[in-house]
Structure formats: C-alpha cells, structure tokens
C-alpha cells in the first residue's frame, strides 16, 4: 500500500461519520486546550509575582525586627512585630558593611486618613529620601520626601494612587488626578499633613502614604528608639549574599547573640523571595497541567472505544482485504493512521483553542497569562502519542482477525 493510498483510505474512513469522529476528537481538543490555558495562567501568575517582587527595588535586602520561629503548630514573634531594631543598628550597617549602595530607615503603622468628608485606612511609612531609590518608588507628580523634610520634621506627605482615589474622588469626578491632591491638607491620625507628591501606578505600594521619618517618630509612633524596617540596596546581584551575611553577623554581635537561630531580627534577601515564589507558582502550574491532563486520558479512551467499534463494524472489510493479499502490517498501519489523524487534528484545534482562551482570559479578566511554546509542543506531542498508544490495540486486533471468519461475520 502506497502512502497516497494510505492517506486516501484514512481520510475516507475518518470522514465517513463526521459526527462520531467530531465527538471522539472533542476529548482531545478539550484536554489540549485545558493544558495550554492552565499552564498559561500559571506561568503568567509566576511572571507577575516575580515582576512585583523585583519592582520593590533592585538588589534589595530587608532587615526587620523579630524572628519567625515555629513552635509546634504555633508561630512566635513575627518579623517586624518586636522592638529590637534601632537607629544605631542602621548606622552600624552603614559604617560596618561593604558593598552597600543605599540604605533607608523606616517606621510604619496603619492609621485613619481623612480629607473633608472622605476617609480611608492606609499604611503610613515614615522614611527618608533614599527610600525612593532603594524601593524603586517613582512619582506621578510632585516630589518624594527629601532630606530637608526629615531634618526639619516637616509635615509633608506623599500619597499612592489608591489613597488618591479614596480621598479625592467626588460625585462629579470619580477618577481624581494628582494635581487635585497636591497642595491640599489631609489628616493622618488627627494630624495635618500637606500632600506634596503622588506616586506612579507602577509603584507596588499604591495604598501607602510616605511622611518624613522624624515626623512619623515624634507625631505618629511617639518614639525614636526603634525602627520597623531597614531597607538595604546591595551594589550588585552578586554581592547580595555577602551583604546579607555581613549584616547578620554585625547585628548578632551588636545584640550579643551567639546562636543565629535565636536572632531577634530577620534579614530577607529579595532573591530568596523570588526563588520561593517561583517554586510555589511552578508547583501550582504543574498541578494545573496535571489536572487538565486527565481529560487527555479520557479523550484517549474515547478514541480507543471508537476504534474498537470501527473494527467491529468493518470486520467483513478487513476479511476481504486480507483475502486479497493485505498483510497484517497494512491492516495495523491503516487503523493506526486513522487514530493518529484524529488526535493530530484534535491536537491542532486544541492548541488554537487553548491559545485563544489564554488571550481571552488576559483581555477580559485582567489576569496575566503567558503562552509557553515548550508546553504547546509537549501538549501536541502528547496528543500524537495518545493516538498511537490508544490506537495500537484496536489496530492489532483488526490485523489479527482470521480472514475466513471475518468474511463470514454478520
């Protein structure tokens, strides 16, 4: 049997009952489309999380008071909840640790913010000018906190886009612009602050308000003895581990702690956060793909069922072919090619459908998706493999039929 004859026979057999063939391929189409769409959502989420973490700042290390220690099923002393990090610690890091580009001290708390008849609750960060560099804060309009603001304990405030929308929206203007806020006075925990800037939407902490560190310590926190966090920018990605270790050793010495497991502070490496987040989202993506792949198995079983039915229906045809000299290899190849053709076409349709679903989800639901070419190729390869695996048994069963008994079959 020539290749052309095989193709013509295969096409004729598959298209003779279009409805049954379409329903059989539906399982493969749904399976492939599900795998493509689920993986796209998983990888898109992974990229989005990584971008969000990295946008916090380049080569960022975060030093917080307190240490997370598990005790049975309980968690004791969450990072940032203790009063163990002091301004002197921050000064010691500046003078005693190499390969540091910038450092930003901060105290923070959550307070009620009021402007005229509007109010909201927001995180207020008391910090210094270097915070904008360390945390990659960009401005939409106005200026960030300056060193002069900290020196003079000025009552200036920089607000995020979410705070802007909450405080300055009116019935006439539901989407206020930054110029509507700058120059106006808001009340933070009952204290007046003048808005001098609005951060850009690209800034992660859009629900935050930034005020001078000294002002926050004296007016909001009521103490200048402790810090909520010290953000450190390492000079490069390659020096982050060294800087992290140096800060840890320095603070252990300053706090007179010999066992690092008993540290009353936490030094978090941005790379570790990205790695942990990537690991979690990668596992999540694999799980989604595994769940979606179940429908591929169901589709394969559907193909086997159809091919077994086809073998039964065409028993006399098989007997006639063998009586005219067709070999077992020809019969096997004939039925196997029909199975592979259905999964091949179903795979193509499934890939296109999955691609369109991923694009639609990204467009209509504002969920980040990322189409992975390796996963597309893998899904397509799996569909072809299903055609071979689930089509082989029916094909061999057809090839093994006794021609005399097959011709007598009613």
In angstroms, what CA-CA distances link 223 with 54, 255, 281? 32, 20, 40
Q: Is 85 exposed, middle or buried (0-12, 13-18, 19+ CB in 10 A)?
A: buried
Output the CA angle 291-296-298, nearest 5 degrees: 100
Q: Which two tokens stand for residue 282?
A: 């990668």
The mean pLDDT value for 247-273 works out to: 87
**pLDDT(286) > 50:** yes
Helices (H), 111-254: 131-134, 147-152, 161-168, 213-215, 240-254
Distances from the Cα of 96 to the Cαs of 100, 101, 124, 130, 258, in angstroms? 10, 13, 29, 19, 19
Q: Give the 3-state secondary structure percentages of the chain, helix then strand then coil, rounded to 5.
A: 55, 20, 25
> Which one is predicted more confidently, 365 or 148?
148
Q: Which segment of 19-33, 51-65, 98-112, 214-228 scores lowest on mean pLDDT? A: 51-65
User: What tens digit of pLDDT does each residue of 192-243 get?
Assistant: 999 999 998 766 666 789 999 999 999 999 888 999 999 999 988 888 889 9
Q: Distance (Å, rounded) from C-alpha 120 to C-alpha 209?
A: 11
Nearest of 330, 211, 282 to residue 49 by alpha carbon: 282
Tokens 């909201």 map to which residue?
A: 120
Q: How does the average pLDDT of the chain come out, rounded?
A: 82
| CA atoms of 128 and 146, how far apart (whole Å) | 7
Q: Taking the domains of the chain in order of start, what are their residue ranges?
A: 3-51+276-408, 85-263
pLDDT in tens, 360-397: 887 776 677 777 777 777 777 777 787 788 888 777 77
The pLDDT assigned to 192 comes to 96
Are 330 and 1 within 8 A, CB to CB?
A: yes
Structure confidence at residue 78 (pLDDT): 43
CA distance 112 to 131: 23
Its pTM surpasses 0.75: no
pLDDT band at 88 (very low <50, low <70, confident <90, very high): very high
Q: Mean pLDDT across the stretch 324-342? A: 79
């Amino acid at each position: 049997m020539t290749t052309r004859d095989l193709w013509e026979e295969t096409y004729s057999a598959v298209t003779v009952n279009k409805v049954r063939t379409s329903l059989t391929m539906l399982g493969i189409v749904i399976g492939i489309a599900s795998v493509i769409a689920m993986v796209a959502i998983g990888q898109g989420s992974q990229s989005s999380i990584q971008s969000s973490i990295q946008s916090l700042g380049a080569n960022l290390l975060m030093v917080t008071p307190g240490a997370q220690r598990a005790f049975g099923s309980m968690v004791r002393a969450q990072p940032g909840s203790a009063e163990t990090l002091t301004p002197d610690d921050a000064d010691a890091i500046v003078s005693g640790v190499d390969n540091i580009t910038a450092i930003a001290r901060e105290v923070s708390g959550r307070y009620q913010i009021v402007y005229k008849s509007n109010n909201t609750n927001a995180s207020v960060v008391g910090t210094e000018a270097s915070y904008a560099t360390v945390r990659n804060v960009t401005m939409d309009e106005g200026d960030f906190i300056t060193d002069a603001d900290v020196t003079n304990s000025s009552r200036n405030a920089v607000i995020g886009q979410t705070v802007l929308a909450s405080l300055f929206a009116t019935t006439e203007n539901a989407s206020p612009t930054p110029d509507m806020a700058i120059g106006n006075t808001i009340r933070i925990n009952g204290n007046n602050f003048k808005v001098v800037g609005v951060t850009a939407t690209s800034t992660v902490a859009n629900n935050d308000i930034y005020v001078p560190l000294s002002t926050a310590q004296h007016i909001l926190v009521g103490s200048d003895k402790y810090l909520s966090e010290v953000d450190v920018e390492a000079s490069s990605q390659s020096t982050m581990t060294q800087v992290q270790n140096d800060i840890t050793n320095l603070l252990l010495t300053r706090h007179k702690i010999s066992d690092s497991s008993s540290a009353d502070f936490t030094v978090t490496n941005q790379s570790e956060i990205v790695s942990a987040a990537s690991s979690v989202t990668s596992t999540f993506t694999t799980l989604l793909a595994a769940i979606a792949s179940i429908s591929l198995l169901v589709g394969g079983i559907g193909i086997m069922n159809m091919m077994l039915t086809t073998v039964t229906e065409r028993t006399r045809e098989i007997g006639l072919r063998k009586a005219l000299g067709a070999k077992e290899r020809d019969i096997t190849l004939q039925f196997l090619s029909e199975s592979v053709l259905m999964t091949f076409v179903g795979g193509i349709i499934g890939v296109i459908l999955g691609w369109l679903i991923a694009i639609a989800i990204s467009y209509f639901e504002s969920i980040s998706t990322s189409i992975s070419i390796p996963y597309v190729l893998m899904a397509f390869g799996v569909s072809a493999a299903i055609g071979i695996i689930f089509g082989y048994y029916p094909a061999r069963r057809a090839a093994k039929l006794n021609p005399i008994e097959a011709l007598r079959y009613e």
